[in-house]
Amino acid sequence: MTDNIRVGIVGATVTPGGSGWGANAHVPALNGLPGYELKAICTAHEETAKNSAEKFGAELAFWDIKEMVEHSDVDLISVVVRVPWHKELVDIALEARKLVCCEWPLGANLLEAREMLETAEVANVPTLVGLQAQSDPLIMYARDLVASDEIGEIITVNLSVMVNAITERGDGRIWQGIRTNGANPMTIPGGHAVDALCYILGEFSEVSARVTTRITNWKHSVTGEDFPVDAPDTVSAIGVLRSGAEVSYQVASVPHNASGTRFEIYGQKGTLVLTAQSVNIGPSRLFLAKGNGPMNEIEAPNLYRLVPGDIASGPGINVGQAYARFANQLKSGNTEVPDFRLAVVRHTLIDAMERSHKEGRVINLK
């Protein structure tokens, strides 16, 4: 591998209609980061691949992932496509012994995630999963504040995630209404938020949850046809962390006036509150109170900012932060980034919430 990590992205495209996450977050992050080179783009069609590579400044264009993973000038494969396609593409990259970054959720379900982890362990290559919230400078700072006893023993935690329901969708997004596809408010905004919680405060020891679908019908934005929805859009959970702290957690996709994410951490000596429209995208705001004192907004020290100033805003910042941490890990040999092993831990928590609802009981996670 050269000094720069040469990246091939599967799924960054000029074609409208999908989430645009590859084009709007991964491309600017990689093009702005030292130590990385956006080398290749792979899409399903030759014309789209060539047009996308040209627009994004990538030297190589592929319309067959097997050709891209076999190319000697590509070191890291970033998979940024629909969740149901993750496993097949990731497995191809791992079998070629390439470094792999896969967007979150890792798999459409816990079983897929476990199988992908097993493949990665056999390949014995480093992996990165797209849980970018924990690379947000303020979330990294909040973790260190808690670890340094700034607010004392954590007593209780409240996490609320309210997102706007998108009930008219075209082909690029309407597939998310199908539960088995694994891309819904519970797994995506909820998954990112609860990962931030666990990153700052540690893992759950037990959880009890209700998981429901409150908006059961969408409309196709092109055909006007009704589209039945069974993907979960509302989660209400209570749990206990391994530290003993109590947690209340709610995720909901609401028709109007969604308030975003609010994360309250109450300690014996003080309080931390983090707010964001979406914790994985940002921008976040962090507030600290000592005792009964006022809540004051605080900024993360510069040491938590790992990306150049020209990508210090927009959806690329936390993606860039995650890639920067991954590069540091490859150099240092530490294990600081969210990898496939952590992704399985997070899938296990989400699965536990679903099982709790189905079985009507508390699920032990110790």
Mean pLDDT across the chain, nearest whole number?
96
Let me know: does 271 contact 296? Beta carbons within 8 Å.
Answer: no
299/258 Cα distance (integer angstroms): 25
Residues 195-235 have pLDDT tens digits of 999 999 999 999 999 999 999 999 999 999 999 999 999 99
152 has pLDDT over 70: yes
Give the model's confidence band at 366: pLDDT under 50 very low, under 70 low, under 90 confident, else very high: confident
Q: Domains in the chain and their CATH numbers?
A: 5-132 (3.40.50.720), 133-305+338-364 (3.30.360.10)
DSSP 362: P
Q: Quick one: pLDDT at residue 17? A: 57
User: To the nearest whole percent, how much of the chain has pLDDT over 90?
Assistant: 92
DSSP 86: H
Q: Quick one: pLDDT at residue 312? A: 59
Let me know: does 338 contact 103? Beta carbons within 8 Å.
Answer: no
Q: Quick one: pLDDT at residue 18? A: 56
Mean pLDDT of 118-135: 98
Q: What are phi and psi of 119, to 5 degrees?
A: -65, -40
Residue 161 tokens, joined = 């995630």
Cβ neighbours, 10 Å, residue 217: 10
Rg (the chain; Cα; Å): 20
Residues 48-57 have pLDDT tens digits of 999 999 999 9
DSSP 35: T
Q: Quick one: pLDDT at residue 314? A: 76
30/38 Cα distance (integer angstroms): 6
β-pairing, 204-212 vs 234-241, is antiparallel
Q: Quick one: pLDDT at residue 281? A: 94
Mapped onto helix, strand or coil, the DSSP state of residue 188 is coil
CA 20 to chain centre: 15
Give the model's confidence band at 334: pLDDT under 50 very low, under 70 low, under 90 confident, else very high: confident
Q: Which of 20, 13, 26 is nearest to 320 (CA)?
A: 26
Residues 284-328 have pLDDT tens digits of 999 999 999 999 999 999 999 999 987 756 788 999 999 999 999
Residue 110 tokens, joined = 């816990």
User: To the nearest whole percent, how much of the chain has pLDDT over 70?
Assistant: 98
Cβ-count burial of 365 within 10 angstroms (0-12 exposed, 13-18 middle, 19+ buried)? middle
